[in-house]
């Protein structure tokens, strides 16, 4: 072997040490990528933020992004998560609801502080989610999960008909005058 060959395995001690350092650095960097992957419910910008192999999704429709897995079944999510089935609550049959629902792994919680409460995430039960309980945890309906609480807009003002509207509201007038 020629002494001027510059690759790992040469008998030159300084090159061997540099090669070992380079290999160890590469191994530590790949290990840190695995160790830095985020859990279900963590903030994200891309799926790569959620897992190095991009097996998890980054749901960018949620505030700050939400690392998740789709298409889960009961007991198929990572230990920090539960499989939640979501649907739009309409007058459809239970069969239609099951056919039209979507399932995602969502972070389990016991209280709001378990969630990203600085981003507005709350610890909800399926009956608390949506307008009228539009979710359930598969296999464990009592389990709570981290999600954004739906902001319900205030109800619209009552519509009065021209026949009954005299233009004055006696209740409001008397309340304002202190009577």
Sign of CA dihedral 70, 111, 135, 157: negative
> Which of 125, 78, 83, 79 is closest to 101 using CA atoms?
83
Any idea which residue has 């007058």 for tokens?
91
- 178: which strand partners? none
pLDDT value of position 124:
95
pLDDT value of position 84:
96
Any idea which residue has 């004055």 for tokens?
168
Summarize pLDDT for 24-68 with one digit per residue, the tens: 444 444 433 444 568 999 999 999 999 988 789 999 999 999 999
Any idea which residue has 């209740």 for tokens?
171
Regions of the chain short of the pLDDT cut 70: 1-37, 90-98, 151-158, 160-179
- pTM over 0.75? The answer is no
pLDDT value of position 50:
94
pLDDT value of position 81:
97
Contacts of 134 by beta carbon, 8 Å cutoff, 6+ apart: 86, 87, 88, 89, 126
pLDDT value of position 38:
82
pLDDT value of position 155:
54
pLDDT value of position 13:
53
- 68: which strand partners? 57
d(CA 110, CA 82): 12
pLDDT value of position 101:
87
């Amino acid at each position: 072997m020629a002494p001027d060959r510059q690759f790992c395995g040469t008998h030159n001690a300084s090159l061997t040490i540099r090669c070992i350092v380079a290999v160890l650095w590469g191994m530590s960097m790949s290990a840190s990528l695995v160790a830095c992957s985020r859990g279900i419910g963590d903030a994200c910008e891309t799926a790569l933020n959620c897992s190095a192999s991009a097996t998890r999704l980054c749901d960018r429709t949620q505030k700050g992004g939400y690392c998740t897995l789709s298409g889960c079944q009961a007991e198929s999510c990572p230990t920090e998560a539960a499989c939640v089935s979501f649907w739009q609550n309409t007058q459809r049959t239970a069969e239609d609801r099951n056919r039209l629902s979507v399932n995602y792994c969502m972070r389990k919680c016991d209280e709001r502080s378990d969630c990203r409460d600085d981003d507005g995430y709350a610890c909800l039960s399926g009956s608390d989610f949506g307008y009228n309980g539009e979710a359930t945890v598969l296999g464990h309906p009592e389990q709570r999960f981290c999600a954004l609480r739906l902001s319900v807009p205030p109800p619209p003002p009552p519509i009065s008909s021209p026949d009954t509207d005299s233009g004055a509201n006696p209740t409001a007038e008397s309340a304002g005058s202190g009577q």
